Amino acid sequence: MKRKVLALAAAMVAYTGAASAQGSTADAIAQYREMLQDGNPAELFEMQGEELWTQKRGPKKASLEQCDFGKGPGVLKGAFVEMPRYFEDTGKVMDLETRLIHCMEQLQGFDAQELLETPYRKNESNNVIALVTYIATQSKDMPFAVPQKVQQEKDMYEVGKRLFFQRSGPHDFSCATCHGQDGKRIRLQDLPNLTVNPGDATGFAAWPAYRVSNAQLWTMQKRLNDCYRQQRFPEPKFGSDATIALSVYMGVNAEGAKSGVPAIKR
């Protein structure tokens, strides 16, 4: 894995150098990502998740094959691009990660609260990451259609919108500070405008994704928590209503954009 990361870093340096000579850093980064996609290490997580999906695990020694992500028990195709969504059995709007953990508790006997509190990439969290990657990829290239059919979903959209534009913290930042306008960039790359469609496709529709810079697979929950950290906010609890509301807002804005997961990021 270490050799893989070094090779990817070398490729990035080469393409960035080419950009300086030829004029467009953004085009060079796009070429760099396209070149790496065939060997995306996220595929390893996807394969692990596929195995975990059918394994009988947990105190109940059961598989996850009857988990319902909104399309019926065990149906994965098209589920990810319609989440977060409202689930009658919990009375909550849930994203892929919180719904998966709910199923792990109900079907396999895991303690959901313990899973939510497990540090990212530690113990059972690694299995959650792999399962999320596998489930999400079953909707690859399908258009996002996050529902706004019931009041709970509409309420979460409005909460997410307010959170996205809420300025706070020691630097008076908000999500919109970086992702509320066209033409912004940071560290050689363009920042997607997440307030418009289809601009959100390069943001929300690209996670989970493998990050070359730290050799980690990040889910949407992890991506949002890190955004809060970079804004110098206290990080939300994993699976919090705040992160789910933000996902609803961005997901609705990404309507029609095709899922590109698992993507690869610098």
Domain assignment of residue 230, yes or no = yes
Domain assignment of residue 144, yes or no = no
How far is it, in rounded angstroms, from Cα 210 to Cα 214? 9
Residues designated catalytic? 227
* Percent of residues, the chain, with pLDDT higher than 70: 83
Domain assignment of residue 143, yes or no = no
The domain tally of the chain equals 3
What are the pLDDT digits (tens) for 237-263? Answer: 999 999 999 999 999 999 999 998 998
Domain assignment of residue 184, yes or no = yes
CATH number reported for the structural domain that contains residue 84 in this entry: 1.10.760.10
Q: Clarify whether residues 55 and 26 are in a common domain.
A: no
Confidence label for 105 from pLDDT (cuts 50, 70 and 90): very high
Q: Note the Cα 4 to chain centre separation in Å.
A: 23
Helices 220-230 and 241-253: angle between axes, nearest 10 degrees: 110
Q: Clarify whether residues 180 and 204 are in a common domain.
A: yes
Domain assignment of residue 142, yes or no = no
Q: Clarify whether residues 259 and 155 are in a common domain.
A: yes
Average pLDDT of the segment spanning 33-40: 70
Q: Clarify whether residues 122 and 52 are in a common domain.
A: yes
What are the pLDDT digits (tens) for 111-170? Answer: 999 999 999 889 999 999 999 999 999 999 999 999 999 999 999 999 999 999 998 878
Q: Clarify whether residues 175 and 92 are in a common domain.
A: no
Q: Note the Cα 160 to chain centre separation in Å.
A: 16
Beta-sheet pairing, 209-211 with 216-218: antiparallel
Q: Clarify whether residues 128 and 198 are in a common domain.
A: no
Range of 172's domain? 151-265
> Is-contact 236 225, C-beta < 8 A?
yes
Domain assignment of residue 97, yes or no = yes
**More confident site: 208 or 213:** 208
Domain assignment of residue 46, yes or no = yes
Mean pLDDT of the chain: 86
**More confident site: 89 or 33:** 89
Domain assignment of residue 188, yes or no = yes
Asked which of 104, 137, 170 is the last residue of a domain, the reply is 137
Q: Which residues contact 177 (CB under 8 A, 6 or more apart)?
A: 167, 231
What are the pLDDT digits (tens) for 184-194? Answer: 766 666 788 88
Which element (helix H / strand E) includes 263?
strand 263-265
Q: Clarify whether residues 261 and 179 are in a common domain.
A: yes
